[in-house]
Amino acid sequence: MNELDRRVSVAPMMDYTDRHCRYFLRLLSPNTLLYTEMLTSAALVRGDGARLLTYDNAEHPVALQLGGSDPKELAVAAKMGEDAGYDEVNLNCGCPSDRVQSGRFGACLMGEPSLVAECVSAMRSVVSVPVTVKCRIGIEPMPQAADEFEFLRKFIATVAAAGCEVFVVHARKAILKGLSPKENREIPPLKYDVAAALIAEFPNLTFVLNGGIRTVEEVQAHLQTFDGVMIGREAYSNPYLLAQLEQAVFDPGWDLPARELVIQQYAEYVRTRLSEGHRLRSMVKHVQGLYAGLPRVRSWRRYLSEGAGQPTAGAELLLDALRIVQAA
């Protein structure tokens, strides 16, 4: 059930980890586990599921994250994901946005562990790929007065009893009222020790740590405790970190790819997608962090951002932009 290598993964991020982003990140790391943006079960079941689930085979290993709280609908969506070839189905129990809460999914589901267990059981009954859960260490306000760790322990125990063996734990509470999703990623304090305490409570489960992890050294340190580490915004703003992690975690003998070669490979992908009707801007935006911390990075980003809006621009924009950093 846990055959996927979970040591390094990239978090599901709305408006970021679409199929184009995932293809680009795969060029930087052959083994990092990638996640889709959260897709609601309703959108898949009642909408254009085939389009929403489309991806490139090069993205494997890739997991589908679902949002929802209707067990029957989630089961249908999970089966659609498995049939499409995804390597895992993950249930979102961590997103704190008002929009997500209004649909009765995301972090607010931590207050209904029995419902989450029912959802997990329904999905597991129709798929053979792993069904996993991404959650926080707690929510505020809690539905009832309780010890904070006991609240988390009960959630994990209840969902694990339904057959979930893998939990991705964002080591912050979700503040359900008064904070934006961005603030919820920054203001609630990180409590890695709370997430680590779960390991002693549930030694047979797999725990992946998420939240505030930005460097190779931090990943390596957390891997001494946890089964895996999930990188969020840092993987987007500084994607070359994934190449460094590939070498540090998966294969010390692996040669770091030249950034220029990655762009050349991605340009070929972009050219193909453009012929299918995809928008240049939606693909170019994902590479703007590739030269983070290096000379001329602002010029690189500006050239791509401004050029992607030109009506005649194509995949060559990426190759032209390389001259900016090569000149440096």
Residue 298 marked ligand-binding: no
Query: Helix, strand, coil shares of the chain as percentages rounded to 5?
Result: 50, 15, 35
- Is residue 85 part of an annotated ligand binding site? no
**95 an active-site residue?**
yes
Taking the C-alpha atoms of residue 7 and residue 2, their distance in angstroms, rounded to an integer, is 12
Flag whether 14 is marked binding.
Answer: yes
Q: Which of 21, 95, 108, 119 is catalytic?
A: 95
**177 annotated to bind ligand:** no
Whether residue 13 is annotated as binding a ligand: the answer is yes
CB atoms near residue 316 (< 10 Å): 12
Residue carrying the six token digits 């993964």: 9
Q: Residue 134, annotated ligand binder? A: yes
Distance between CA atoms of residues 75 and 47, nearest Å: 16
Which residue matches tokens 């969902």? 159
Give every CB contact of residue 138 below 8 A, 6+ residues apart in sequence. Answer: 110, 148, 151, 152, 173, 174
Using the CB atoms, write b or e for 167-180: b if 16+ within 10 Å.
Answer: bbbbbbbbbbeebe
Query: Which residues have CB under 8 Å from 34's CB, separation 6+?
Result: 9, 10, 17, 22, 25, 26, 59, 61, 62, 63
Residue carrying structure tokens 């934006």 = 180
Within 8 A by CB and 6+ apart from 299, the residues are: 324
Calpha distance 35→65 (Å, rounded): 7
Known binding residue 12? Answer is yes
- CB-count exposure of residue 5 (10 Å: 0-12, 13-18, 19+): middle
Q: What are phi and psi of 167, to 5 degrees?
A: -125, 125
Binding-site sequence positions: 12-14, 65, 134, 170, 210-212, 232-233
Binding-site sequence positions for FMN: 12-14, 65, 134, 170, 210-212, 232-233
Catalytic residue IDs: 95
